[in-house]
Amino acid sequence: MPFNATITGLGAYVPERRLTNADLERMVDTSDEWIVTRTGIRERRIADPAEGTSHLAKRAAREAIAQAGIEPEELDLIIVATSTPDLTFPPTAALVQGGLGAKRAAAFDLNAVCSGFLQAYVTAAQFIQTGAYRHVLVIGAETLSRIVDYEDRSTCILFGDGAGAAVLSRTSEDVGLIDFVLHADGTRAGLVYCPSPTSPEATLKSIGGIAKPTIRQDGRAVFKFAVNGMSESVLTLLERNGLRSEDVRLLVPHQANLRIMTAVAERVGVPVERTANCIAEYGNTSAATIPLALHKWFHTEGLQKGDLVVFTAFASGFLWGAALLRWGM
């Protein structure tokens, strides 16, 4: 590879409004005790009706760009990972590009649901490693509250809104993305899905779904596949790079359920103390969970240049995978 691609800036933004477990107790037949024990979630953030995914994304992006020490005009590409775009088109990335004044940047959205940031990060790194681009902004941003059924207690307790961003920059130092694995199994599409206004009946029928445009899932099946998929992806990366779990300074798993994250950490042999975690305060923010958890860890626990970090995610699709990187800041 002619160049390495390393994270030079991180940003995060969550809306101010909190939806607590006590609030949910008043909305559906649930309890704080059930939610905390089964998921680890205590509250989530909900976007103001006037705010869209692009607004959250821009706020997170500005922080990441400032930390990277560059101007928006220096960005070559913006990728927004989201499954809750402001509009069907243009893509949210175009709204972000225009709003930031990133005049030179190309822009596109990437929909890989909860593995969106992982896939966008890996994609961004390819553009840099080939030498095509110097600075790429990757954002995971969601307003999931718009597609949650707040009468369904098995899903409404899980999801929240938020955005996390990272600037990836070209470097000749031995830091940045080392290796990745990405997988898909579209035969399991019906296990967690959300229809759109363009969903044809034939597709809904093929996945055993209904047309209501809110998130539906088989929670137990997703749970099992998530643990297996993320653990196996991480173990594959460690094995083929000749690493042991002790070598990993930080594991950043997708934040879907604390029990899933703990099971993955145990299976791959990384202690929970070295596992990034923001699920209690934000819940599952889909494409935003990895950058939000990484941002929190970076500003509380810290990372040293040279530390090995692993991202791993699992999503509707099913889509799953992991990335191994050497920290460069």
Of residues 156-175, those binding ligand ACO (CB under 6 A): 157
What distances in angstroms separate CA 40 from CA 21, 157, 278, 320, one per listed residue?
11, 11, 10, 22
Q: Which is nearer to ligand ACO, 256 or 323 (CB)?
A: 256
Q: Which residue in 98, 199, 223, 303 binds ligand ACO (CB under 6 A)?
A: 223
Q: How many residues bind ligand ACO (CB under 6 A)?
A: 24
154 contributes a contact to ligand ACO by CB under 6 A: yes
Binding-residue pattern over the window 263 to 302 for ligand ACO, x denoting contact by CB under 6 A: ---------------------x-x----------------
Is residue 314 a contact partner of residue 231, using CB atoms and an 8 Å limit?
A: no
Q: Is 299 a catalytic residue?
A: no
Q: Is 284 a catalytic residue?
A: yes
Spatial neighbors of 33 by CB under 8 A, at least 6 apart, are none
Q: Would you call 280 exposed, middle or buried from its count of C-beta atoms within 10 A (0-12, 13-18, 19+)?
A: middle
Using alpha carbons, select from 86, 83, 145 the residue that is nearest to residue 120.
Answer: 83
Q: Which residue in 90, 99, 219, 269 binds ligand ACO (CB under 6 A)?
A: 219
Segment interacting with ligand ACO (CB under 6 A) among 48-56, 219-227, 275-283, 301-309: 219-227
Tokens read off for 28: 């559906």
Element (H, E) at 92: helix 92-100
192 contributes a contact to ligand ACO by CB under 6 A: yes
Segment interacting with ligand ACO (CB under 6 A) among 32-40, 126-134, 236-244, 292-300: 32-40
Provide the minimum distance between the beta carbon of 174 and ligand ACO in the complex, in angstroms, as a whole number.
34
Q: Are strands 135-143 and 4-13 parallel, antiparallel or unpaired?
A: unpaired
Q: From the CB of residue 178, how many other CB atoms can be counted at a distance below 10 Å?
A: 18
Name the catalytic one among 4, 111, 156, 254: 254
Rounded distance, CA 174 to CA 57, Å? 30
Enzyme catalytic residues: 114, 254, 284
User: Which stretches of the chain bind ligand ACO, using CB under 6 A?
Assistant: 30, 34-35, 38-39, 113-114, 153-154, 157, 192, 215, 217, 219-220, 222-223, 226, 256-257, 284, 286, 315-316
